[in-house]
Each structure stands twice: as C-alpha cells, then as structure tokens.
Structure 1
Amino acid sequence: MKQVVSLSIFIGIIIIALFGFINSPTALLLGFIFSLFFKSSFDKLIHNSIQILLKISIIGLGFGMYLKDTIETSSDGLGLTFFSILFTVGLGFLLTRLLKIDKNLGHLITSGTSICGGSAIAAISPVIRANSKTISVALGVVFTLNAIALFVFPLLGHLLNLNQHQFGLWCAIAIHDTSSVVGAALGYGDEALRIATTVKLSRTLWIVPLSVISMFIFKTKGERIKIPYFILLFIIAITINSYNFLPEIATQSIVTISKKLLIVTLFLVGSTISIKDLISTGYKPILLAFSLWVFIAIFSLIYITF
C-alpha cells in the first residue's frame, strides 16, 4: 500500500512539474522531502533517467540562445564574464585542494558557481563521469544558493542604489541558474531583464570550453578524448536557432519543454539525496560553494561599480 502511495505521489509531482507549476528549487526540495518519507524501489531507473534528461535538457536550452546576441554583448559584459569565470574556476581548484574535497564534486560545484548552475553541472557531469550522488550534492548546494539569491539580490540592488544596467550585469554574473537570474531581474526593470538575459546567454556558452578543458583534466589514462555528442548537439541547436532554420514557435516550444524537463530532472535528483549522504559529505562542499559565491558576487560588484 505504501509503495502504491509513494508511486502515486512521485508521478503526481512529475506531472505538476511538466505543467510548469513549480520552479527549480521547489522541485529539488520536493524531491528531497520525498526521499525523507519514502524509499524508492526503482533507484536504478531514476539514476539512468537523470543522465538522459540532463543531456536532453541542455541540448534543448541551446534553441533559446543566439550567436548574434553573444557577439553583440557589450565589451564590459564580455570582459566581466571572462574574468569572473577565470578567477572563480581558479579559486575553485585551489579551495577544492585546500579543503580536500572530492575532485569531481569540487569541480561540479565550481562549474555550477562560475558559469550557470544546473546547466553547467548537467553539461560537465557526464564529461567527468560523476556519479548520481556527486551530481545530487553539487546541484543541491548550488540550487540552494540560487534560491537564496532570487530573494536577496533585488534587495541588495536597491540598498546599493544600483541602476538597471548595473543590476542586470550583476545578476547575470553573480547568480548561477538562468531561472534565478531572470526571476531576480524581472522585478527590477525591463532594461535589467534584457541585459541580464543577454549576458547570461553569453556566459552559458562558456560551458563548451569548460567541458573540453574538463575532459583533458579528468581523462582516463590511454583513453581517447572525444567531445560528448550532447555538447556538439548543444552547439548545433544554438546555430539552428541563430539562423532561423526552425520557426520561432518551434524553438520556443523546445526551450519551454527543456526547462520543464530540467525541473523534472531536479525533482529526480532531489529524490536521490539522503540525510545520510549529506551528513557524510560534511560542511566542506557548502563552504566551497558559499566561498565561491561570495567571491564572484563581490568581484563582479566591484568591477561593475568601479
């Protein structure tokens, strides 16, 4: 009976996610709550689904990106993006070693913090062959910070008297997940939303070079290095969208579906998190993510205001 109830709740939450009634942090939280009260009897299927859906989602998101927007992004935005990623990734490698955190976990947290949260983790995790537990912890930590940022950043923006241009840049750089970037900028003003979205898209493109670098860093001895198919398809998706090879209604639908699939994936990821795993992970991954978040927020704010 309990198994029937748990399966019904599990499927019900997935349906709710597909209809867009919950956001990313909520999905992850619901998955975690589900894991507290119910023990899944299909863990292997969930883990396999996570890998597949993460790849599909990241490819689909490419249909919402434009090469032209990236090229036309202001030099200030491009410079800030480049240096913030460079310094954050460098600091992440250093802190991972100093804190003696698992190399895969440290790299996923660093990737998610420096580029674009769940999308970066989705792209990097298959490249470095991270297991579901590592992905779960990385996503859990990064998306917790995203949820906090969604509420905190607009308040800080007004407190610091940032104009819309400054706030849009700050959101795009210092907040990791696209949904949180858009959510934070939406209430600040149209200009902030436009700048945040444009710079965020250019920032997301850095998934590709970071994925290639990750393959070199984490490659198995004697193994031939190949660019994963989903990275190639991600680039192809951006190109298709940029040159209007598909009607706009089709690309918009693909992006919408991809975002919903990503939310479903986050619920699945949350359902694999356990209190035991979090306790065994310790405080260090949280300390790493929080330190990188504070660094990138302060660095980008100083860069923008001075």
Structure 2
Amino acid sequence: MNLSQRKIQLIYGTIAALCFTPILSPAIALVIGIVLSMAGLKLKNTPLKTSFILQASIVLMGFGMNLKEVIETSQTAFVETAVSVICVMSLGIVLGKILKLDSNVSLLIASGTAICGGSAIAAVSNVLNPKKYQISFSLAVIFTLNALALFIFPKIGHYFHLSQSTFGHWAAIAIHDTSSVVGAGAIYGEKALKIATTVKLVRALWIIPVSIIISFSQKKQGNSKAQLPYFIFIFVAAILITYLVPSGQNTYEHLSWIGKKGMILALFFIGTDISIKETKEAGWKSFLLGILLWISIASGSLLILINQ
C-alpha cells in the first residue's frame, strides 16, 4: 500500500491518540500495529523511542501501587508469589532449552507468565535488549492466553466450588495481566476481587528483583548489550512517594492512568516494527512454551490452594 508519509503520520497520530481512550486495549493496539506493519505502512524518522515509552510507563504505573496494601498482604502473598515466580522462571528456562528456543524469547515468555504479563515483558526487554519480533511474539503469546483466562477461570472456579478467598488467590497467581485478574475476580465476587487485586500487587513487585537478576546474569555471560534497569529504581521511588506523601493521591491516580495508557501506546509501536519474516523466526514453539507454562502454574497453584 503506497501512501505518503504525511498520510501515514496522520494514521499513526490518530491511533496514538486512541491509545489514551477506552477504545483500544493493549492487545488491540498491538494487533493494529502489526497490521500496519504488514501493510507496509511504516513511519519513518519517528521521534518517539519505544524503549523510553515503555520505561516511562512502568515508572508512572508505580504511582498506582499502594505500598500499605502490599505490606498488609505480604505475610501470605509473598510466599505464594515467590514460589510461583521462581518455579515458572526456572521451568521456562528449562523448557526453552528443551524446545531449543532463543534464550531471550524463553525469558520474556517466562517473565510474562510468572509476574504480570505485558508489564513484565516490557521491563525485562529493557534489560535483555532482544529483537523487536521477539518482544512482540512474546506479547502475542501472553495476551492470547490472558484473554482466555478471563473467561475460563471463573467457570473452573465454580466447577470446583472454590471459595471467594481461594479463587482470589488462584486468579492473582495464575492469570498474566492485572486487567484480567481484576476482571476474573469481579466476575467471581466482591471478596475474590479484593483478594485477587492485592495479591496481584505483590506478584507485580517481582518485576524489580527479576529484572535486576537477569541484568547481572547477562553481564556475567558477557552480554555487552545488557543494561542495568535503572528505571526500576525510579519505579520503586514512585511507589514510596505515594506512601510517604499521601496528600497527592489525585495526582498519583492521573500519573498511573498515563502510565497504563502509555503502555498501550508502546505496544502499538512495538507492533509496527513486526514483519512476517521475523514472526516466522519465532515459530510455533514459542506458543507451546507459553501454553505449557500457563497450564503448569494454573494447575499447580490450584492443587496447592485446594489442599491447603
């Protein structure tokens, strides 16, 4: 499709604006970006850098985290999330080697499954500096399974007659993105929603140690492109500011909202960098890894919670 750069800029500007409205979800924004790329509608000399948008968005989302709630739920949620994160990350690395996947893809999918979907992939990608198709394909895997979880989990919960508390913990541990965790919890019940949200908050904080550990491991392996995720420390500072200066709550809510919408914008730009050739390089094994990890954490955590 041959269009002038001026018209392409108009298209990109319109979609970028829509990213800050309820119309576009993260998954839809990513798909639109991929469609534009496949159609050959590339924006040249863009002043926006996707990595900066990702980092800034993660930092801003820190203003939406309530440190007090994290501390209050940490006695039980910390152990649950720690075990799940360690198990999924370890299993992801092992399965990635068995399937002979690129180590970057394995780490991205494992991080997205273990911690908090697209946000974790965004944070880890800034440490690994993977190829853009590796990021987009990892996001596609996570978003697909995340969407399924929103509909499947409440049905499974009712089938096994799970209590509100048990379902809340299960959803927070086994569903990827916060949006679907909240959605599934809301469908199941008010108590399930509250528990799922707070436990998910604790799980999301694992972005910090995981990103730092991966960064140092890459340095030890001689990966000169690996970067220490300095923005993670700003992310922590944002969380602390909301706790230490509670008077700015209205401002924090606005900053958190910008961060969430900025993440959607970043996913759109990531999608525009995808090509059919690069997608084929990722292969079906990436999807298989995501499915295996998801089934493992969902079934394993459910069995443990039921038998507690």
TM-score normalised to structure 1 length: 0.92
C-alpha change, 1:255 and 1:175, in structure 2 (3 Å) is: same
CA distance in 2, matches of 1:255, 1:137: 26
1:179-237 deviation line (CA, Å, top 9, x unaligned): 12112222222211111110111001111111111012111639699742201101100
CA-based RMSD of the aligned residues comes to: 2.1
Aligned twin of 2:164: 164
**Which amino acid in the other structure matches residue 60 of structure 1?**
L
Aligned twin of 1:275: 276
Shift of 1:51: 0.5
CA contact (8 A) 1:62 1:235 kept: yes
CA distance in 1, matches of 2:196, 2:271: 28
Aligned twin of 2:96: 96
CA contact (8 A) 1:61 1:255 kept: yes
Shift of 1:161: 2.0
Q: Give the alignment partner of residue 10 of structure 1, picking from 1, 9, 12.
A: 12
Shift of 1:149: 1.5
Structure 2 gap segments, 5+ residues each: none
CA distance in 1, matches of 2:143, 2:158: 23
Q: Which moved more, 1:60-69 or 1:230-239?
A: 60-69
1:95-150 deviation line (CA, Å, top 9, x unaligned): 11111111111111111111111111111111122232221121121112112222
CA contact (8 A) 2:57 2:259 kept: yes
- 1:1-306 correspondence runs (5 A): 2-3=3-4, 4-42=6-44, 45=46, 49-73=49-73, 75-219=75-219, 221=222, 227-244=228-245, 247-306=248-307
CA distance in 2, matches of 1:190, 1:260: 26
C-alpha change, 1:287 and 1:64, in structure 2 (3 Å) is: same
Task: Report percent identity of matched pairs.
Answer: 42
Q: Which moved more, 1:12-21 or 1:271-280?
A: 271-280
**Which amino acid in the other structure matches residue 12 of structure 1?**
T
**Which amino acid in the other structure matches residue 106 of structure 2?**
G
CA distance in 2, matches of 1:277, 1:246: 48
CA contact (8 A) 2:93 2:107 kept: yes
C-alpha change, 1:32 and 1:198, in structure 2 (3 Å) is: same
Structure 1 gap segments, 5+ residues each: none
C-alpha change, 1:223 and 1:284, in structure 2 (3 Å) is: closer
SS in 1 for 2:235: helix
CA distance in 1, matches of 2:189, 2:103: 40
C-alpha change, 1:201 and 1:14, in structure 2 (3 Å) is: same
1:225-257 deviation line (CA, Å, top 9, x unaligned): 974220110110010112225511000000111
CA contact (8 A) 1:240 1:246 kept: no
**Which amino acid in the other structure matches residue 203 of structure 2?**
R
CA contact (8 A) 2:128 2:226 kept: no
SS in 2 for 1:18: coil
**Which amino acid in the other structure matches residue 299 of structure 2?**
I
1:51-107 deviation line (CA, Å, top 9, x unaligned): 011101110111111222122116443222111111111101101111111111111
**Which amino acid in the other structure matches residue 137 of structure 1?**
F
CA contact (8 A) 2:216 2:228 kept: no
CA distance in 2, matches of 1:161, 1:222: 49
CA distance in 2, matches of 1:275, 1:221: 31
Shift of 1:35: 2.3
CA distance in 1, matches of 2:93, 2:35: 32
